[in-house]
Amino acid sequence: MSILCVGSVALDSVETPFGKAERVLGGSAVYFSAAATVFNPVQMVGVVGDDYPLDDLAFLTDRGADLSGIEQASGESFFWAGRYHYDLNTRDTLETKLGVFADFEPKIPEAFRDARFVFLGNIDPGLQHDVLDQVTAPEVVACDTMNFWIEGARDRLLELLARVRILMVNDEEVRQLAGEANLLKAARWVQERGPEIVVVKKGEHGAILFADDWIFYVPGYPLEEVFDPTGAGDSFAGGFMGHLARANSMGADDLRRAVVYGSALGSFACERFSVERLKDLDGSSVHDRVEEFRRITAFETSVPVAGHV
Amino acid sequence: MSILCVGSVALDSVETPFGKAERVLGGSAVYFSAAATVFNPVQMVGVVGDDYPLDDLAFLTDRGADLSGIEQASGESFFWAGRYHYDLNTRDTLETKLGVFADFEPKIPEAFRDARFVFLGNIDPGLQHDVLDQVTAPEVVACDTMNFWIEGARDRLLELLARVRILMVNDEEVRQLAGEANLLKAARWVQERGPEIVVVKKGEHGAILFADDWIFYVPGYPLEEVFDPTGAGDSFAGGFMGHLARANSMGADDLRRAVVYGSALGSFACERFSVERLKDLDGSSVHDRVEEFRRITAFETSVPVAGHV
């Protein structure tokens, strides 16, 4: 059950307190696919300039990604440069050059159009609509977005919500979208507009999934060294959708597992620059981390004793 | 196994987006005891002025608290007034009057001196030392502190750490104390100075317990209405220590349960002004909330399928 993934394919220059990486693989579609292909094949759609080191994406092909939807256009690739602060929770964008991404019009290859699992990375909601218009029978559509579109393309974004089953955003974004500080109420607000599932990513504080009448919470994995948080959210989405597509399920148990796999992949992404850690990830490392999540969160209720509770 | 608790016994005036409460019961010792007595008897030590409505503490006596360590002095009680912002994560202090608390010298009644479980609420580290000097054979000592003492009484605080087994602070405080942004490293820093257990309270983001070679995480309980967060941290401490004392244990399973009980009590505290919700709390409500924590966090790992992970 391949996942169709549409998003940015970028080059990033990143500075963290631990070091510097220049023009390395980045972009939502790349992080998503690096994570999702640990579980399941992916069909990628995006655009790069003639400066893009496409050979560096070979590890994705080796893991079952189909890159035939990545168009190479004349010009420069999407470039982002950023610097993280001391605590790694805040960052400054030093430079953003859209390059060929400015004129991106997603063209879904014929072979991808029957995709049942679709991930719409954080791009213009108008383009997210265009993607869905080209897909014949999508069943599980997940989308990401950001403050830029929540402010600047609100109507199109709200129309999009009616077409997706899963919204995956961070806590600030869902609060801004709903105009509501309480996360539970903000998630309900979104659910009334379409998505049955709202996944709220909270960075080091973990992730919460809101379903119809239940919620599920996974803490952030306590890393001793957060080397580079870039792409953690898209890696989360990759692990999440990767599991759902592999299981071919939207059942409650699989949604819960998907949050754990998403959190695991998001945590791995932070351990090295770019997709370096995701590249050499194997099944047993993922399983070990999932078991650590269990150890961190599992508890037995005590037998009540006399006197008080 | 009574818990000796030393801290402030105050009157609070609180404004939240939901309403206003004037001169209601507050203070670390009061919140702690209101939570802990749901599980276990408490021996309270503190000071109030002649304006304090001691009769309003009768519900604590009914639940097994011994108030004979609360001294009534001539003058005004400790008074705090604050206003919470829209999102309830930040607040402004409008007024603080120390009153009789300014000259507080904890005198531990003879009958309390053999206490084995001790909670040192957030007061001057010098006074926290004085309390320990008066206790003959403390076994499980937990303490709280704040930025004011971390900056202004650092040496005395570090000396105190060598005398306590459990430090309970919030995430900002442990980072400030250790001069380290990474929580895991900050907790290790503290552990090297005495406490074997560090409990970090993160408000709506939950709580983490750091032990020697394991950690345990409970999310914040997702409340639809956070009515008044005042005292949530002390209520957490009360639920936490209440369980440990009831179980008479520092075993790993009990420490985990203690974090869950602490989180449950902290969440209840936020549901009404002052200690109102803790006052009418019964065992079955606590058990129901603990079960909700389990539903929110439990997951089964899927059976691996062929092909990928």
Question: pLDDT at residue B239 above 80?
Answer: yes
pLDDT for the residue numbered B89: 75
Q: Which residues contact B186 (CB under 8 A, 6 or more apart)?
A: B174, B175, B177, B178, B180
Among chain B residues, CA nearest to A249: B302
Asked if B225 contacts B14 with a C-beta cutoff of 8 angstroms, the reply is no
Determine the residue type at B72.
Answer: Q
Instruction: Read off the pLDDT of each residue in B287-308 and give the average, rounded to a whole number.
Output: 78
Which residue stretches of chain A are H helix?
A: 28-36, 58-62, 125-134, 147-152, 154-161, 171-178, 183-191, 232-247, 252-269, 276-279, 283-297
Among chain A residues, CA nearest to B184: A224
pLDDT for the residue numbered B307: 44
For B10-34, letters b (16+ CB in 10 Å) and e give bbbbbbbeeeebebbbbbbbbbbbb
pLDDT for the residue numbered B232: 96
Rounded Cα distance, A280 and A285, in Å? 10
Number of residues in chain A: 309
B306: confidence class by pLDDT, cuts 50, 70, 90: very low
A29: confidence class by pLDDT, cuts 50, 70, 90: very high
Rounded Cα distance, B87 and B16, in Å? 10
- A interface test, pick of B91, B198, B217 with most A CB neighbours within 10 Å: B217
pLDDT for the residue numbered A120: 98
Q: Would you list the DSSP string of A247-283? A: HT---HHHHHHHHHHHHHHHHHHTTSSTTHHHHT--H
Asked if A302 and B217 come within 8 Å (Cβ–Cβ), the reply is no
Asked if B294 contacts B273 with a C-beta cutoff of 8 angstroms, the reply is no
Percent of chain A surpassing pLDDT 70: 97
Among chain A residues, CA nearest to B1: A307
Write out chain B residues lying below 8 Å of A247, CB-based. Answer: 302, 305
Under DSSP, the state recorded for A170 is E
Write out chain A residues lying below 8 Å of B205, CB-based. Answer: 202, 205-206
Which tens digit of pLDDT belongs to each residue from B101-127?
Answer: 999 999 999 999 999 999 999 999 999
Instruction: Read off the pLDDT of each residue in B217-242 and give the average, rounded to a whole number.
Output: 94
Instruction: Read off the pLDDT of each residue in B286-292 and give the average, rounded to a whole number.
Output: 95
Instruction: Read off the pLDDT of each residue in A50-66 and give the average, rounded to a whole number.
Output: 97
Asked if A219 and B219 come within 8 Å (Cβ–Cβ), the reply is yes
Among chain A residues, CA nearest to B224: A184
Q: What is the ipTM of this complex?
A: 0.88
Measured in angstroms, the CA of A63 and the nearest CA of chain B are apart by 9
- A interface test, pick of B37, B260, B297 with most A CB neighbours within 10 Å: B297
pLDDT for the residue numbered A198: 98
Measured in angstroms, the CA of B204 and the nearest CA of chain A are apart by 10
Backbone angles phi and psi of B86, in degrees to 5 = -45, -45
B85: confidence class by pLDDT, cuts 50, 70, 90: confident
pLDDT for the residue numbered B63: 94
pLDDT for the residue numbered A302: 58
Instruction: Read off the pLDDT of each residue in A152-160 and give the average, rounded to a whole number.
Output: 98
pLDDT for the residue numbered B309: 47
Lowest mean pLDDT among A60-64, B241-245, B303-307: B303-307
pLDDT for the residue numbered B302: 58
Torsion angle of the four alpha carbons B240, B204, B95, B102, in this order, in degrees rounded to the nearest 10: 20
Question: pLDDT at residue A308 above 70?
Answer: no
